[in-house]
């Protein structure tokens, strides 16, 4: 088995491609060692001691190193953990959801209470996020989570290598906000949630 590594716009994060599916559906982020206890793979990556975020995408794992960590030493450790996991065909999650079919719920839910009269606008926003934004963000080793829409403002959370990336504000404000405002006139702003 060969695991490919790609850089991301976030200098603290690398994207690891094992050449096979990681998540059966959806994505999952682990921002703390405690959260990583839900996944033996995420926990093993955190156990290297120099990791602050692990993110599972459809066919990749993004890992964000702690400030001051040396990727030249950390990268081989992460690759070894990934190789052990995928070669042994170990379950991705602990417990009855280990086979990856039923994904444990994400750690965060919607943050903004939505109004029923905004249903059409929300559907248009989610369609654009799913078809135009999510594939681009996944290419950089991350994902975007929709957190709500109210009074013209779309609330989003960047995940994976995109979380904490120096260009994340530009991605939200200039990239995603511009796209949404162009196609959905009711959108006036995009904010991080």
- For the stretch 113-147, pLDDT in tens is 888 999 999 999 999 999 999 888 888 888 888 99
- Identify whether residues 163 and 93 lie together within a single domain: no
Whether residue 149 lies inside any domain: the answer is yes
- Identify whether residues 130 and 166 lie together within a single domain: yes
Angle, CA 68 vertex, CA 64 and CA 74 arms, to 5°:
55
Q: Which residues pair with 143 in a beta bridge?
A: 159
Looking at residue 118, the DSSP 8-state letter turns out to be G
Domain span at residue 123?
116-192
Q: Considering the entire predicted model, what is its pTM?
A: 0.82
- For the stretch 68-110, pLDDT in tens is 999 999 999 999 999 999 999 999 998 765 444 344 455 455 5
Angle, CA 10 vertex, CA 188 and CA 84 arms, to 5°:
125
Q: How many distinct structural domains can be found in the chain?
A: 2
* Cβ atoms within 10 Å, residue 112: 16
Answer for the pair 128, 183: CB distance below 8 angstroms, yes or no. Answer: yes
Report d(CA 145, CA 19) in Å as an integer: 25
- Identify whether residues 80 and 133 lie together within a single domain: no
């Amino acid at each position: 088995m060969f695991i490919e590594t790609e850089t991301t716009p976030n200098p603290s994060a690398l994207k690891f491609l094992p050449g096979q599916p990681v998540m059966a559906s959806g994505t999952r982020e682990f921002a703390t060692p405690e959260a990583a206890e839900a996944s033996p793979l995420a926990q093993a990556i955190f156990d290297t001691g120099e990791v602050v975020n692990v993110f599972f995408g459809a066919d990749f794992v993004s890992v964000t190193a702690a400030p001051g960590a040396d990727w030249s030493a950390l990268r081989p450790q992460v690759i070894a953990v990934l190789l052990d996991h995928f070669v042994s065909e170990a379950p991705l999650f602990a417990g009855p959801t280990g086979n990856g079919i039923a994904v444990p719920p994400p750690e965060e839910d919607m943050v903004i209470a939505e109004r029923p009269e905004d249903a059409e606008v929300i559907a248009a926003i989610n369609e654009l996020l799913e078809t135009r934004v999510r594939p681009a963000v996944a290419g950089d080793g991350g994902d975007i989570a929709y957190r709500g829409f109210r009074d013209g403002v779309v609330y989003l959370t960047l995940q994976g290598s995109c979380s904490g990336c120096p260009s994340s504000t530009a991605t939200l404000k200039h990239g995603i906000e511009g796209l949404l405002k162009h196609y959905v006139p009711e959108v006036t702003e995009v904010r991080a949630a």
